[in-house]
Amino acid sequence: MSKASLEENLITLVEIVKTLRKKCPWDRKQTLKSLKNNLIEETYEAIEAIEKNKLENIVEEIGDILFLTIFLSVILEEKTGFSFKKLVTKTIDKYREKHPHVFKNIRFKNSIEVVKFWHSKKRDIFEGIPCSLPALLAAKVIQERASKLGFDWNSREGPLKKIDEEIDELKRAKMKRKRFEEMGDLLFSCVNLARHLKIDPEGALRSANKKFVKRFRKILKILKKERKGKNLSLEEMDRVWDRIKSKTCRNLSKAEQTKS
């Protein structure tokens, strides 16, 4: 483990990136735009590491994001002359300004007032929500911001009723474009319900995806063993699916009883 200071290590990391930009064919041809997907991938890898709660993986993935951030800053300096040092200074100034209750003699009663202060500085309430944000997460952020101005349901009953309405409208929709629109409204309403239940919709859907994949793999494993290479029918897959689901529910019920 290096005994160098944080500043020395950051300088070394910047110099490593600059060396790679000169000597590595792949690194040399990268641009701000070409690295967009890398940034998205690294962020999701960090999210997955955090969800798995494995310290070694979390440290590694955050390190990858740090490296990529410096890589982007080096490219920015090459193209515009805006240095990493200036970028850090600008970021320090920004976050000091965002926290006057910490760095200045201004008081807020609670975290709600802090968030209201942040939003009061925006020209538009929806300013800063990137178009590339995953749709479920974007819907949650949009709804939260509208809620800050009082545009929200008083309880979960509101979004529950709205979901029923959207399902009825989707059933009645005849045209493809209308179905597309109603499906969007239904998903937006589902996010609203998740928000009122204090459930992260993005995390809930990721969990559902993982659960489906896990169960379906079990189905294939069981049926391939039973059918010995013959074609699998929908009825057989449904039968095994219900069996696996029932077993999972029983196990969850036992686990809950053990906790209580």
In a domain, 255, yes or no: yes
Residues 141 and 195 reside in one and the same domain:
yes
Whether residue 171 is contained in a domain is answered as yes
Residue 130 lies in a domain: no
Q: Confirm whether 103 is domain-assigned.
A: no
In a domain, 241, yes or no: yes
Residues 190, 209: one domain? no
pLDDT, tens digit (0-9, with 9 covering 90-100), for 158-199: 999 999 999 999 999 999 999 999 999 999 999 999 999 999
Express each pLDDT in 34-90 by its tens digit. Answer: 999 899 999 999 999 998 899 999 999 999 999 999 999 999 999 999 999 999 999
Are 187 and 220 in a shared domain? no
Overall domain count for the chain = 3
CA gap 91, 49 in Å, rounded: 26
> Domain end: 199, 216, 239, which one?
199
For residue 250, give its domain range: 202-259
pLDDT in the model for residue 176: 96
Q: Which residues contact 108 (CB under 8 A, 6 or more apart)?
A: 101, 114, 117
Residue 174 lies in a domain: yes
Residue 109 maps to a domain: no
- Do 188 and 140 lie in one domain? The reply is yes
pTM of the shown model: 0.68
Which CATH number fits the domain that encloses residue 26?
A: 1.10.287.1080
Q: Indicate whether 211 and 179 sit together in one domain.
A: no
| 35 and 63 share one domain | yes
Radius of gyration of the chain, Cα coordinates, nearest whole angstrom: 25
